[in-house]
């Protein structure tokens, strides 16, 4: 992989606390593709890259670039994006991949909830 955009999954954070995203909505990737291609042209990144992008005064702005799977990957997979597969296919076949965006529906909502509870039978 040479900075080319192969696939993407755009997620909007609806609820976040203490740096952890709990509720996300799938978002159409169309308005992000040009910006991501510009990032790829400027930085020849390889593999999965996680970007934090914000809208500021009607303009998309990259705030953070992480060369790793993001913490919300499970949401991408649930929305229908298998972002790991293209990377593995390229590594195993040694062939350069073509761009093939996942066709996931925008507007899907997923929420993660983690809680620790103590059953009544424990501690007695």
pLDDT in tens, 55-83: 999 999 999 999 888 888 888 989 999 88
pLDDT(121) > 70: no
**pLDDT tens-digit series, residues 11-63:** 999 998 888 888 999 999 999 999 999 999 999 888 889 999 999 999 999 99
DSSP 8-state code for residue 115? -
State the pLDDT at residue 63: 94
Alpha helix segments (H runs only) across the chain: 33-42, 73-79, 84-93
Of 41, 10, 38, the residue nearest 108 (C-alpha): 10
Per-domain residue ranges of the chain: 10-96
For the segment(s) 10-96, the CATH number from 3.30.470.20, 1.10.579.10, 3.30.1490.20, 3.10.350.10 is 3.30.470.20
- Name which of 43, 58, 50, 46 is nearest 9 in CA terms: 50
Two tokens at 103?
A: 């066709």
């Amino acid at each position: 992989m040479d900075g080319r955009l192969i696939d993407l999954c755009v997620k909007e954070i609806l609820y976040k606390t203490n740096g952890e995203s709990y509720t996300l909505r799938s978002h159409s990737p169309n308005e992000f593709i040009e910006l991501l291609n510009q990032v790829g042209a400027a930085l020849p990144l390889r593999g999965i890259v996680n970007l934090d992008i914000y809208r500021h005064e009607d303009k998309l702005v990259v705030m953070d670039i992480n060369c790793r799977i993001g913490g919300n990957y499970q949401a991408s997979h649930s929305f229908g994006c298998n972002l790991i597969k293209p990377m593995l296919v390229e590594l195993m076949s040694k062939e350069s991949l073509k761009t093939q965006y996942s066709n996931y529906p925008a507007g899907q909502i997923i929420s993660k909830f983690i809680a620790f509870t103590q059953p009544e039978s424990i501690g007695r």
